[in-house]
Amino acid sequence: MISLDQTIAEIIRLRETGQAQLTLLAVCPNSVAVLEAAVRAAARNQAPMLFAATLNQVDRDGGYTGWTQEQFVAQLRAYAHRYGWDGPLYPCLDHGGPWLKDRHTLEGLSLEETMQEVKSSLAACLQAGYQLLHIDPTVDRRLPPGQAISMEVVVERTLELIAYSEGERQRLELPPIAYEVGTEEVHGGLVDLASFKAFLKRLREGLQATGLDAVWPGFVVAQVGTDLHTAQFDPQAAQRLYTIASPMGH
């Protein structure tokens, strides 16, 4: 199967050369019905598709879907076989970071405990065959309400989780995967252009300093006006963000 990074590169090439205006659909597999319907739609349209599962939905404890990472990927592949689609379907992790699994907050886990739990889940994702990991350490339950986590801490924890994932990937002798960084949420501090640019610069420098020069995210999430409560989209903001991110590669 063509890798997700290769698919991203081809979509960018087609868009930049004016040959096609394509994008990738990411489906949230929060039930059996949604997963089956999405795979069936991908097969019918012969289209690549991402399946972005949070740790609340799919995790080592079964999440609220009842799937572990391994069971989720097995079910995805079973539906692909049922509907006769051998094209690219990419299992992905959405929002992998400390305290982003509700159980970690409810159980009052410390930073060290929640980070270790996240790392164990990242390892399970890799072992199951996930093709993308969203590294999202933009929540810190230890901070007072309303206080945003600092940019430096976001970068530091992003680097720690990417370094761990790359170490596990190499230990397991798996091919390269794609990464997603950043968040559209205000608490991440990645909303305005200056913060967005500073985050990417610090991340690049950190990856180079730790010998991870070859690792660069395929996706960077930022605020372009849309969230769970609106249907607004700011194309000018999106263009400005693209202008900042595109020279850094994909």
Distance of CA 174 to the CA centre of its chain: 18
pLDDT digits 0-9 by tens, 29-38: 999 999 999 9
Give the Cα separation of 150 and 223 in Å (integer).
17
Examine the pLDDT at 190 and tell me if it is beyond 70. no
> 3-state SS of 182-200?
ECCCHHHCCCCHHHHHHHH
Name 224's Cβ contacts closer than 8 Å, sequence gap at least 6. 184, 233, 234, 237, 238, 241
Q: What is the mean pLDDT of the chain?
A: 91
Q: 4-248 adopts what CATH topology?
A: TIM Barrel (3.20.20)
What are 187's two structure tokens? Answer: 């608490």
pLDDT digits 0-9 by tens, 99-151: 999 999 999 999 999 999 999 999 999 999 999 999 999 999 999 988 888 88
Order of all β-strands in the sheet with 219-221: 26-27, 49-53, 89-96, 132-135, 178-182, 219-221
State mean pLDDT over 5-9.
Answer: 90
Name 45's Cβ contacts closer than 8 Å, sequence gap at least 6. none
Q: Compare 125 and 13 and report the one with higher pLDDT.
A: 125
pLDDT-derived band at 188, boundaries 50, 70, 90: very low
> Where along the chain do its domains lie?
4-248
> 3-state SS of 117-161?
HHHHHHHHHHHHCCCEEEECCCCCCCCCCCCCCCHHHHHHHHHHH
Residue 154, burial from CB neighbour count under 10 angstroms (0-12, 13-18, 19+) = buried
Name 166's Cβ contacts closer than 8 Å, sequence gap at least 6. 212, 215
Three-state DSSP at 73 gives helix
Listed in sequence order, the DSSP H helices in 189-234 are 193-209
Q: Compare 112 and 239 and report the one with higher pLDDT.
A: 112
- Sign of the Cα torsion 121, 124, 126, 130 reads negative
Taking the model in full, what pTM does it have? 0.93
Residue 189's pLDDT is what? 44
pLDDT-derived band at 185, boundaries 50, 70, 90: low
**7-21, 77-91, 127-141, 222-236: lowest mean pLDDT where?**
222-236
